[in-house]
Amino acid sequence: MNTNYKVAAIQFEPTQFEKDYNIGMLYQMVEEAARSGAKLIVTPEMGTTGYCWYNREEVAPFVESIPGKTTNQFEELATRYNIYIVIGLPEVDLKTNLYYNSAVLIGPKGLIGKHRKTHPYISEPKWAASGDIDHPVFDTEIGKISLLICMDIHFIETARLVALRGTDVICHISNWLAERTPAPYWINRAYENQCYLIESNRWGYERTVQFSGGSCVISPDGHVQGYVDKGDGIFYGEVDLAESRKNEISDNSILFDRRPEKYMELMTNTFMWNPLDFFGLYGNNPLPKGKKSRISVAQMEVTSNVEVNVEKILDLTVEAKQNGAELVVFPELSISGPFQPESAETILGPSVESIVHLSIKHKIYIVSGFVEVEGSSYYNTAILTGPEGFIGKYRKMHLNTKDKEWATPGEKWETFDLPIGRVGMLVGYDAMFPETGRVLSLLGSDLIVCPSAIDVPITSGHVGTDVEQNYPIPTGADPLHWHFYRVRAGENNVYLAFSNALDDDMKISKGRSGVFGPDTFHFPRNESVLFGEEGVAIIEMDTTNEENTTYPTNVVRRKDLVLMRQPHLYKDLIRTTNTDNGLVINKL
């Protein structure tokens, strides 16, 4: 097996209705990459035909079977150069006459397999059926390779499925639009699944649609090796299979620390019915009435001195309240500081009581954290207090390496219905697992609060793009082009309040706390982010509904992306047993 090898992401603008020309150009570019030493070469979604088809009748002259004429042409090239090629094309199933947006993997010995786009974008239903192949991973001489197509990767489930099946490389072919690229979603999927992602995106303009380019290679640590910005081109990157098989983020076993027995909600589709009806069915647990609220996060240095921490919480709470905040989120262990047995308290200990008094006095909801002791067990616990007093707690369910030295994992998801909306809670490392935000979203959360002490990279910048986009889509330089938690908010259509600690003892220095809105592709973005300073960030959260309609009219209550999930494909996400050897493990 080749464990280190060169790869190529091809960026190309196909010409609609000119299939032979497109195939000829792709053939030349693939051959150029092969001669340059690339072993795995990826081309864009629908690269043989163009993308913006009006209907089934219009695309009919350009569909073909797999295998077929196009795959045969590229098989010859793969055999001659001993390479692997990914091609995107519109497929016809000869048995059913259904059309699919498909990707094929071709190797030195011929056609290896295909993927049919399972999560269609707005355009595919005009002519294609949703894919019916369950996200295969292909075992090859250069590692385990999987294929995803454009919109597929908006959904945390698709990349997670192939990661659990052992993929080393996700070949993501796309016609990505309306965003500066390399897109933050691409980075999250590589990072949270600790695999390589080769992104082959088209560029150019077709039938009123501006495509974004940015074809690239992303490493398992989220590092973008480089990219093609605008125009036809090839980016060459490197794959090291040893890196994709570590499955670690800063010594934490990101796949083995999963808790699939807690993810049963992933098999539900709670937003397929009117959520205002669904969450009030039988009079049980209806969503709070919608309103506009101001929510905030406080970023602070967390010390080992409880009195110092409580004093800082007081000062920042007052600042948040003076700026109109109705809720403020503080970092993980913000009351107690890092674990010390002597600073642990019961849920109604004196430090927690002081936070309760603070909430009552200033009439504000506060999320904070401390080391909880119950019997002989310690927990990394977040608490919610408010004008009513103590409201509830959540015990961290996913423990990182440091937590495991002292803490017992929590066993229960928690949501709380407040006047500002339904609030779900996570703590720190929990949110590194894409399943967690998804579960809380499916439980109807409007807001996820996440007190944290994260000391791994969660942001990266962008120097700007030459791809033209309509205002207000940003194209200029941005030090926070990618923010891990922005993607978490958008993929789940929730507001997300991420408060990160600043603490030299815990080696946390980046901060980057922020509050993020529920629509990643709404510009200018509804968010407020802090860098490395202590302080407060605030945005408005809107859960209101337009009058004279009983269906949600804003995205946080409607959850458009969550609605488009395909839960029948996700069963492996809740498996706890590897049926091949009978071991109870989390990576299949």
585 pLDDT more than 90: no
Q: How far apart are CA 50 and CA 44, in angstroms?
A: 10
In whole angstroms, what is the distance from residue 81 CA to residue 35 CA? 8
Cβ atoms of 362 and 384 closer than 8 Å: no
The answer to whether the beta carbons of residues 192 and 433 sit under 8 Å apart is yes
**pLDDT (average), residues 116-141:** 96
Tell me the chain's radius of gyration from C-alpha atoms: 25
Q: 478 forms bridges with which residues in the sheet? A: 462
Give CATH for domain 4-244. 3.60.110.10
Which tens digits make up the pLDDT trace of 307-364? 999 999 999 999 999 999 999 999 999 999 999 999 999 998 999 999 999 999 999 9
pLDDT value for 485: 98
The one-letter amino acid code at 568 reads: H
Confidence at 579, pLDDT banded by 50, 70, 90: low
| Average pLDDT, integer, range 410-437 | 98
The bridge status of strand 514-516 relative to strand 527-529 is antiparallel
User: DSSP letters along 541-580, please?
Assistant: EE----TT-SS--SHHHH-HHHHT--GGG-GGGG--B-TT
**Is 117 one of the catalytic residues?**
yes
Which residues of the chain form CATH 3.60.110.10? 4-244, 292-544
From the candidates 13, 19, 39, 45, give the one annotated as an active-site residue: 45
**Amino acid letter for position 307:** E
- The burial of 564, by beta-carbon neighbours within 10 Å (0-12 exposed, 13-18 middle, 19 or more buried), is given as middle
The CA–CA distances, whole Å, from 318 to 350, 358, 561 equal 20, 9, 36
pLDDT score recorded for residue 584: 42
Q: Which of 19, 39, 117, 321 is catalytic?
A: 117
**Per the CATH hierarchy, to which homologous superfamily does domain 292-544 belong?**
Carbon-nitrogen hydrolase (3.60.110.10)
DSSP letter assigned to residue 143: E
Mean pLDDT of 199-219: 97
Residue-wise pLDDT for 240-263, tens only, equals 999 999 999 989 999 999 999 999
Give per-residue pLDDT as tens, 482-539: 999 999 999 999 999 999 999 766 566 679 999 999 999 999 999 999 999 999 999 9
pLDDT digits (tens, 9 = 90+) for 142-173: 999 999 999 999 999 999 999 999 999 999 99
- Asked if the model's pLDDT at residue 587 lies above 60, the reply is no
- Cβ neighbour number for residue 408 with a 10 Å cutoff: 18
Average pLDDT, the chain: 95
91 is annotated as an active-site residue? no
Q: Which of 13, 150, 157, 372 is catalytic?
A: 150
Please say if the pLDDT value at position 581 is more than 50. no
Query: Among this protein's residues, is 150 annotated catalytic?
Result: yes
Distance CA(535)–CA(299), nearest Å, equals 5
Strand, coil or helix: what is 105? strand
Alpha-carbon distance of 3 to 179, in angstroms, equals: 34
Predicted local distance difference test score (pLDDT) of residue 507: 61
The answer to whether the beta carbons of residues 490 and 521 sit under 8 Å apart is yes
Note whether 301 and 534 are within 8 A (CB): yes
Q: What is the pLDDT of residue 348?
A: 85
How many Cβ atoms sit within 10 Å of the Cβ of residue 95? 7
Question: C-alpha distances in angstroms, 144 versus 36, 151, 195, 519?
Answer: 22, 22, 10, 33
Decide if pLDDT at 48 tops 80: yes
- How confident is residue 583, by pLDDT bands cut at 50, 70 and 90? very low
| Confidence bin at 1 (pLDDT 50/70/90) | confident
Q: What length is written for the chain?
A: 588
Averaged over 418-444, what is the pLDDT? 98
d(C-alpha 385, C-alpha 452), whole Å: 18
Tally of CB atoms within 10 A around 578 = 13
The enclosing H or E element of 275 equals: helix 275-278
The mean pLDDT value for 62-68 works out to 98
